[in-house]
Amino acid sequence: MTDKVLGVLGGMGPLASAHFMLRLTLLTPAERDQDHIPAVLWSDPRVPDRTAASLSAGPDPLPWLLRGIEGLKAAGCGAIAIPCNTAHGWLDPMMRAAGMPILHIVDAAATELRRIGIRRGCIGLMGTAATLAMRLYQDRLEAEGWQVVEPDPEQMARLVTPAIASVKANRVVEAYAPLAEVANSLAARGATAVVLGCTEIPLGIQAGPADAFQVPVVDTIDALARVSIAWALG
């Protein structure tokens, strides 16, 4: 049993946040209700689009993110998990406002890579155009010894971005084929694993057969859930 309360800053998108809560529950070593982790989910889908904002094509999501953080602080949370990769582009002002740890999803992915035995070498990265453009993953992972390969612009426009949009529109099954195509193309370019650096992508990937992938895929929802559990129980 833990007294620590996890805050979850969600709604980006709503399905990814709900799935994070499910995985947080299922991955927790528990025998009864009281063994699970107290958590407060702030799921506000009104947060402006993070990709559009990062490309100066839409309103700033930061005031909405800070509003959620204030709600989680008021609820007595001791740390925050954000099951949205692109939102980490506003991490510094969120950390200043939070006054508590924000569990970084990229560091969680790195921990997951090590957990499955991939400590160096070439890895693939899938994510939103904004996540890739902001180099949220590339800089942190390359500093720790991995080489990162990404989808090319044509794959992003034709496959990845439409697949993410399909998941956000609850058309999850439609996302599987294009995402699987891109993941396997990264493996063909030498990736020994593929990091699913958008929390919609694991939902699409899981909508079809897992044995279609040539290399392991790192689910950043699960990775973030595991480090959240470690924080709560540690």
pLDDT class for 112, splitting at 50, 70, 90? very high
pLDDT of 2 above 90? no
Question: ∠ CA 99-104-106 to the nearest 5 degrees?
Answer: 165
pLDDT class for 145, splitting at 50, 70, 90? very high
Mean pLDDT to the nearest integer, 198-223: 96
Render pLDDT for 32-65 as a digit per residue (tens, 0 to 9): 999 999 999 999 999 999 999 998 889 999 999 9
CA 63 to chain CA centroid, Å, is 21
pLDDT of 1 above 80? no
Q: State how far the Cα of 172 lies from the Cα of 16, in Å rounded to an integer.
A: 11
Other beta carbons within 10 angstroms of residue 222's beta carbon come to 19
pLDDT at residue 118, rounded to an integer: 97
User: Are 203 and 169 a contacting pair, CB within 8 Å?
Assistant: no
Locate all alpha helices (DSSP H) within 48-200, ordered by sequence: 50-54, 62-74, 91-98, 105-115, 129-133, 138-143, 153-155, 161-168, 172-188
User: Are 146 and 113 a contacting pair, CB within 8 Å?
Assistant: yes
**Which residue pairs from 158-167 have beta carbons closer than 8 angstroms and sit at least 24 positions apart in sequence?**
160/126, 160/127, 160/128, 160/201, 161/128, 161/129, 163/200, 163/201, 163/204, 164/128, 164/198, 164/200, 164/201, 164/204, 166/204, 167/13, 167/15, 167/16, 167/200, 167/201, 167/203, 167/204
pTM, rounded to two decimals: 0.96
